[in-house]
Each structure stands twice: as C-alpha cells, then as structure tokens.
Amino acid sequence: MKVIPACAAILLAAACSPAPASEPAAPAAPSIAPPPAPMAPPQIAILTDLVGRWGVAMEACAPTNDAKDGVIEITASTVAMGLDACTISSTTPEGAGTMMILQCKSGEGGDDYERNFSVVSSSPETMTWITEGGAGVPHVRCK
C-alpha cells in the first residue's frame, strides 16, 4: 500500500485535531455523596466510685451466697443484680447520683425487662440503690 504524502497529512490532521464545537461534551458523572459516618455508641458515664460489688449487708457479700441475694455488681457497662444480668443502655446525672436505664435478662428464666434505677454514693464504702418506686436501699462495698 502506498501512502501519498498529502493524504497522510490529511489523515493525521483529522486524527489529531480537537472535536468540532458542534458535538456535545460527554455528561459529567453524577456526584455521589459519601455515606454518613456511623453513629457513635451512646456514652455511658458510671462514676468510678460506683464500680464494684455491693451488698445490703456485709453478710450478703460472703462467697457462700450462691444466689447472690442482696448483691449488686456494677462495672462500667453492666449491672448484675442477684442472678439477673443487665446492660446499661444510658445514664443521666440525677442530683447527687446517677439514674441508669438497664436492659436485663432474668437469671431465673423469666422474661427480659427494662428498669430504671438511681444510685447515690455517699462515701467510697456506701451507696444507696433507689428503685423505680423511689425506695432507697443502703448497700456497703463488699471487701
């Protein structure tokens, strides 16, 4: 095949020249918003003074109390009351104490339940556990 120099110049010029202005430009890709940031877990604020094992009396703290009657164990995110295991879903400062909303599983085979309790610590060794009805039960820190 023989290329004539004049034709080669025309072919190259056509291949290298910009598209005529009459041709529409390709549409831009739609912008996609980034996905929303994941929600942070709820902040739970348990006073470190409340973390620990508490009994209605020192006798309740005894290792022989297998049923854990009268014993409350508080961690930064859980509360165990007797045989029931609870997760703290939220806390709110309330006067001199903390109001907690707990999601609980019965350790005796009962239904799951939600309860509100308030806790007031009057010293590092004592606290009052206040039920939804408003009755306060004093507790001592187990040793």
| Assigned domain for 34 exists | no
C-beta separation of 114 from 101 below 8 A: yes
| Assigned domain for 77 exists | yes
pLDDT at position 131 is: 86
**pLDDT, average across residues 107-113:** 87
C-beta separation of 119 from 50 below 8 A: yes
| Assigned domain for 12 exists | no
pLDDT at position 18 is: 54
Domain count, the chain: 1
Partners of residue 85 on adjacent β-strands: 80, 105
Task: Give the gyration radius of the chain's Cα atoms.
Answer: 35
Q: Which domain holds residue 92?
A: 52-141
Please give the span between the terminal C-alpha atoms of the chain, in angstroms, as a whole number: 102
Averaged confidence pLDDT in the chain: 79
pLDDT tens for residues 36-89? Answer: 666 555 555 566 788 999 999 999 999 999 889 999 999 989 999 989 999 999
| Assigned domain for 13 exists | no
| Assigned domain for 6 exists | no
| Assigned domain for 41 exists | no
pLDDT at position 9 is: 42
Give rounded-to-5 percent helix, strand, coil for the chain.
10, 40, 50
Residue 107 burial by Cβ neighbours in a 10 Å radius (0-12, 13-18, 19+) = middle
